[in-house]
Structure 1
């Protein structure tokens, strides 16, 4: 008998704009993905997404706010692989794998090792040789201590036996600016954030972390780390999540709506225009991906000793 009011309320949901937390600064890949969702959300939700950038602590600031938000469906958040990493460090206020529930995965991309084009390193081996001859000279920019870019930087240094200085920033946009300004010499960055700089000749890409090369004409000549003898094969995904306590009927409605947004040809076109192929996963599959990534990253980081190293740096 009491189900009718709930159904009526749900049929009207959402009745106001939905706050969408992006836990990194404007201009980075996750921010661009979320703004692509924002462009057409009104068409499918009947209400706009209001994007709030909350950079800091490699994403922890924003994800803490999301995990602690009122579970009413009016606060959602953008997610990325960093979220899984932060849960491994065990130093945060929440374990995001249990405090949050995914609505969808939107895209998945490899990370690229980028240097300024005017530097003498034309290949990965050139860079490694230089770093070995000049230990501690090269600065490796990242999106915060413990971020995905930081982990890749530490993995690269560990696997190649070189010594680099890790320099944290608040997000991908700031990190890229630092590379262009010569304040750091190396960064791991997603293809979207760096594509225009590669096209205009200011940045050179030496390797990518995916299993396969990218189809994009700008990056098609870039070899994978695997091709060059290094087992660095992690990709960075972007998605959308909600607080765990969100009622199932509201969560299901949001999941359904976000599927229609992500599958909308206009959204797919917008994502393609910025260099991000849509790789949709529903809530259940995205949850499985979180768990699989967590197990893989934990094994890799523990075996290399990087996990303890980053835990110490985050204290």
Structure 2
């Protein structure tokens, strides 16, 4: 009887082992997919509209670049990009939204440099380095320090001297913690000792409108966001935050002409980029990167960048991440040394850029 039972149970046991092995294999494949490894997902991508989440409001450099590029990318990827502005918390609302969506490549973050400072400013736990993968760093730009055309300040020295003699009398419009104006203010404070009262707005569009309406005395935005106002005579750009004048506005002096000590922070500036969730399948990331690269490479889009005073980059992969890392190191340590951060860059293993 025992021998007969053994003969019956042995085949059943073998079947169970085969079933368990198959389940284990399927589980391993699922884990590979969730870790972002290529799994053929790009063959049918995109399966629906791609949501492009813009981390700033309408009218700023990020918005202009994103909406100009989107229709060109649509032609390359044979899909639709639905663009949405989600401003707030220096872009952290949009960043968290993209992070919370499925990691399938159908939600992209059109962002700037701001998430590089979220951790040291304790705005958000999100970071490009830990939570996202670059599809493309599209271009970089320069910050310009601007006032209204009827402002009494004719030069950057006029502005700084007034701020030194009357600390906090002037209102400097910002785009919130971690925004470009805050980094420029940290430069001025660290090296020149100037102090301003600050008022935050939800992006470059709103802050330039505030300057136009006389709500603030001065602000700093990307050259692309200010260029039309400067050329129309509404604004005066006192300096570009660079170590030499730029082609888009050759008559505007570099800030180092007046204050060479700021050169140690340069090159630094805002950038425009597209990111996906870190767990997006690798083959989808590759397909997206190739589509964006082709779109950015077109003469039509290159002309847009030139007109906006932006420098063409069009880099992806590790080269893009290295660039983002260098930008983070410069800005994080600059704000930390100005006493503007909640936490030290060292807590997040952010290296200090050698002077």
TM-score by length of 1: 0.91
The ranges of structure 1 where at least 4 consecutive aligned residues each deviate by more than 4 angstroms after the TM superposition are none
Aligned with 1:168 (options 194, 200, 211): 200
State the partner residue of 1:14.
46
Alignment correspondent of 2:85: 53
Q: Is the 8 A contact 1:78 1:239 kept in 2?
A: yes
| 1:292 aligned residue | 326
Aligned partner of 1:255 among 289, 298, 318: 289
Q: 2:60 aligns with which of 7, 22, 28?
A: 28
Secondary structure of 2:254's counterpart equals coil
Shift of 1:241: 0.4
Q: CA deviation at 1:212?
A: 2.4
Secondary structure (helix, strand or coil) at the match of 1:47 reads: coil
1:133 and 1:30, CA in 2 relative to 1: closer, same or farther beyond 3 A?
same
Map of 1:212 onto structure 2: 244
Deviations 1:91-148 (A, max 9, x none): 4142332101111111100100001111111111111222233322100001112212
Give, in angstroms, the shift of residue 182 of structure 1: 0.7
Is 1:130 equivalent to 2:162 in the alignment? yes
Q: Per the alignment, do residues 116 and 309 of structure 1 end up closer, same or farther by CA in structure 2, a change over 3 Å counting?
A: farther
Contact 1:153–1:166 (Cα < 8 Å) also in 2 = no
Q: Any stretches of 5+ residues in structure 1 without a counterpart?
A: none
Change beyond 3 A, Cα 1:310–1:222: farther
Contact 1:14–1:74 (8 Å) recurs in 2: yes
- Any gaps of 5 or more consecutive residues in structure 2? 1-25, 30-38, 346-355
Tell me the TM-score normalized by structure 2. 0.81
The answer to whether 1:120 aligns with 2:120 is no
Distance in 1, matches of 2:243 and 2:71, equals 31
How many residue pairs match? The answer is 306
SS in 2 for 1:235: coil
Q: Is the 8 A contact 1:102 1:241 kept in 2?
A: yes
2:225 aligned to which of 186, 193, 201: 193
Query: For 1:295-306, what aligned pairs fall within 5 Å after superposition?
Result: 295-306=329-340
Contact between 2:189 and 2:338, CA under 8 Å: does it hold in 1?
A: no
Contact map agreement 2:120 2:343 (CA 8 A) in 1: no
- Structure 2 counterparts to residues 32-47 of structure 1, below 5 A: 32-47=64-79
C-alpha offsets along residues 12-38 of structure 1, whole Å, 9 cap, x if unaligned? 311322100001101000011101111
Larger Rg: 2
Q: 1:209 to 1:26 in 2, by over 3 A?
A: same
Equivalent residue for 2:302? 268
**Distance (Å, rounded) in 2 between the aligned partners of 1:305 and 1:276:** 30
